[in-house]
Structure 1
Amino acid sequence: MDSLPLYHRISGQPVIVLGHGEAAEAKARLVRRAGGEVIDDLQDGIDRGARLAFIAHDDARAAEGDALRARCAGLLVNVVDRPALCDFTTPSLLERGPVLVAVATGGVSAGLAKALRLRLEGLLPSSLADLARGLGDLRDRLKARFPGPGDRRRALDAALAAGGPLDPLDPASAARLVDWAEGAEPMATAAAEIRLRSADPDDLTLRDARLLGAADCVAHEPDVAEAVLLRARADAVRWPLAPGEPAPVRDGLVVTVRAGR
């Protein structure tokens, strides 16, 4: 991965969009959809404190020149159809209220990103927006019920899992949210072990992938491939183990990953 996915707040902010034709119009629509103000003059946008610039010139030299000027002024730049000139790329977006799913290929294939987004469109129900807003409304209540962030996250993980009371793919989940919040209990600490069959993360079983995605701590032997460890939560604690060493005792879910032998 050579890019860091971020969501950039631009509501009410000036965003430079240069060029004419369908590509420039598409970028302008994207900016307006996020609440940004489209500025079609580079210097005016720089003077007004724009932080992003979309450049959609057909002429390559004009695109390169404006990209250089914008970058020298401290802006992040996206040049349509010229990935080598881009500081950032725009993903294919799926929106369900406050839930925004972005599918990107780093500028390699916009068509592939679109195809994946269309598949996801059929999976995510419109009720997902209500579920997200409901969870936001109940944030203070959940903090009071689960003061520890680890307990709170584990309770939500269990509820939002496949088949759980708040399964995001179940259209009825939003209607169960209040009842769940009133009866939810802290999750007990737990431990599990994964013994790998290979260094290929695609060989992980569904159980293995689920455990890695939920783990608070990933204890791993030295021969475990980094590609496998990347399937865990980014904020999970990593705990190196010597071969055969027992897993540490910690709060939350501790998943031990051992290399196959």
Structure 2
Amino acid sequence: MHQFPIFLNLTGRTVVLVGEGEAADAKARLIARAGGRIVSAWEEGATIAFVALDDDAEARIAAADLRARGLLVNVVDRPDLCDFTTPAIVDRAPVTIAIGTGGASAGLAKAVRQRIEVLLPARLGALASALHAARGAMKARWPAAPDRRRAIDAALAPGGALDPLDGDAADKVAGWLVNDAAAEPSRLETIRLASIDPDDLTLRAARLLGEADHIFHEEAVPAAILDRARADAVRHIADAPPADPPPGLSLWLYPSRP
């Protein structure tokens, strides 16, 4: 990962936008959609800035001046001058998906965005809002956080009660809560790695890594593989799979043998 992805709350905040023309207009629309207040020069309280100037020297001078005032700066079409880049965006508010390439190829980011746009139903945001509204009911139903997370994971899985690709999933949240929905039972799954390259992971292995609560692995399993797991999954270096796995989904990972 070459850049740290982050979502900024710009509502009511001041954003500097230097420049005119199509590129500046595009950034202005993006800032306005996020609720930011646009100014054309530095003001007290501004924290980020966009520079959309055609002349390279002028762009460098403007960026250096704004950066000297403590702002993070994005210079349009000049990734080497950027403190941050703006991603291609799939907007299903409040769900936002950002695709970035670190400035390497805006065209590639756009192509990936277009593929994702086709996959996701227009009402995905409504599902997020419905789940947010049901937080109290979910806590009452599953008081223990691990049980609650496993129940939600099972519901949101492909073909689950609240499959995100189901355009009507938002209307099913209430029914899911009152039905006999149970958290997925604890289990141990074994993954034999074909290679140390994470691109060689099977679809099953990638899915399990994204769902697991605990990952037991031999020391030889590379970090590039473990990085595909959830950030909050507990890692355990071990010589053998656990005889008594902890609650939730546990994985046993080991490399292939010669």
Give me the identity figure in percent.
Answer: 51
Which of 119, 123, 131 is the matching residue for 1:123?
119
1:149, distance to aligned residue in structure 2 (A): 1.7
**2:103 aligned with 1:103:** no
Name the CA distance, whole Å, in 2 between partners of 1:214 and 1:154. Answer: 9
Residue number in structure 2 paired with 1:215: 212
**2:43 aligned with 1:57:** no
Q: Secondary structure at the match of 1:192?
A: strand
Name the CA distance, whole Å, in 1 between partners of 2:148 and 2:229. Answer: 18
Q: Secondary structure at the match of 1:159?
A: helix
After superposition, give the CA deviation of every residue in 1:19-75 in whole Å (9 maximum; x if it has no partner).
111111111111001110111112xx2x2x011100111122221122112112211
- Do the aligned residues in 2 keep the contact of 1:219 with 1:247 (CA within 8 Å)? no
| Counterparts of residues 182-261 of structure 1 (less than 5 Å) | 182-183=178-179, 184-242=181-239, 244=240, 246=242, 249-261=245-257
Supply the AA of the counterpart residue of 1:18: V
Name the CA distance, whole Å, in 1 between partners of 2:25 and 2:203. Answer: 43
Question: Which consecutive unaligned segments of at least 5 residues does structure 2 have?
Answer: none
Name the CA distance, whole Å, in 2 between partners of 1:7 and 1:21. Answer: 26
| Cα distance change, pair 163–245 in 1 and its aligned pair in 2 (3 A) | closer
Q: Secondary structure at the match of 2:91?
A: strand
1:172, distance to aligned residue in structure 2 (A): 2.3
TM-score of the two chains, using structure 1 as the length reference: 0.94
Name the CA distance, whole Å, in 1 between partners of 2:228 and 2:71. Answer: 33
TM-score of the two chains, using structure 2 as the length reference: 0.95
- Do the aligned residues in 2 keep the contact of 1:199 with 1:225 (CA within 8 Å)? yes
Name the CA distance, whole Å, in 1 between partners of 2:170 and 2:241. Answer: 44
1:245, distance to aligned residue in structure 2 (A): 5.6
Q: Secondary structure at the match of 2:49?
A: strand
Residue number in structure 1 paired with 2:31: 31
Which of 140, 155, 158 is the matching residue for 1:159?
155
1:248, distance to aligned residue in structure 2 (A): 6.3
- Do the aligned residues in 2 keep the contact of 1:241 with 1:247 (CA within 8 Å)? no
How many residue pairs match? The answer is 256
Residue number in structure 2 paired with 1:180: 176
1:188, distance to aligned residue in structure 2 (A): 2.2
| Cα distance change, pair 148–245 in 1 and its aligned pair in 2 (3 A) | closer
1:185, distance to aligned residue in structure 2 (A): 2.2
Name the CA distance, whole Å, in 2 between partners of 1:238 and 1:246. Answer: 12
Name the CA distance, whole Å, in 1 between partners of 2:241 and 2:6. Answer: 38
Residue number in structure 1 paired with 2:2: 2
- Do the aligned residues in 2 keep the contact of 1:247 with 1:256 (CA within 8 Å)? no
**2:32 aligned with 1:70:** no
